[in-house]
A = this chain, B = another copy of it.
Amino acid sequence: MADGGSPRARALLQQCVHARLQVRPPDGDAAAQWVQVQRGLLIYVCFFKGADKELLPKMVNTLLNVKLSETENGKHVSILDLPGDVLIIPQATLGGRVKGRNMQYHSNSGKEEGSALYSQFVCLCEKELAANSKCAEAGVVVQHGTYGNRQVLQLDTHGPYTHLIEF
């Protein structure tokens, strides 16, 4: 996060053993669609007003390289070095602030802007994993939720090891 300034984006990281996220709700006779990941990292992400695409490479670099994934031996390495799956979840609620008994989201980026940033963020994560030989060899994947949808989520962890990182 820029020293002393307001954050332009907020990410919340949790480890998972397995997770499953709905990407399309059921519609009439059509069943819901889901994506799933095995052992890896959940990235919940929220953009604030003032965020722009120049911010994204730094965010992706930090999130994929910070040592928050635990090996079998209890050592902490990055998700790229684990290597493990990544599940990206758009989570605008992370930008909320308490006002009385309600939450306000005045600092959040607008819907179109947030959606564009989210798509580019996902795309950059995919590229980074694809370009990493360890990840490519291990066949790990990036999955992601649909911006604007309800993020119906099932999460199985061996300790979520929850971290907040602001940019």
Question: Contact residues of A with B, CB < 8 Å?
Answer: 10, 12, 44, 62, 65-68, 78, 89, 91, 93-94, 96, 98, 101-103, 150-165
Contact = CB atoms under 8 A, between A and B. Distances in A.
A162 B66 contact: no
Contacts of A68: 103
B162 A94 contact: yes
Contacts of A152: 157-159
Nearest to A61: B101
A78 B102 CA distance: 9
A162 B93 contact: yes
A115 to B, nearest CB: 18
A66 B100 CA distance: 8
Contact of A159 (B62, B103, B153, B163): B153
A51 B106 CA distance: 28
A91 B160 contact: yes
A123 B98 CA distance: 23
B159 A98 contact: no
B162 A101 contact: no
Contacts of A158: 150, 152
13 contacts: A66-B102, A67-B101, A67-B103, A78-B101, A91-B160, A93-B161, A151-B157, A151-B159, A152-B157, A154-B155, A154-B157, A155-B156, A164-B164
B159 A66 contact: no
A101 B159 contact: no
A44 B94 contact: no
Contacts of A10: 164
A91 to B, nearest CB: 5
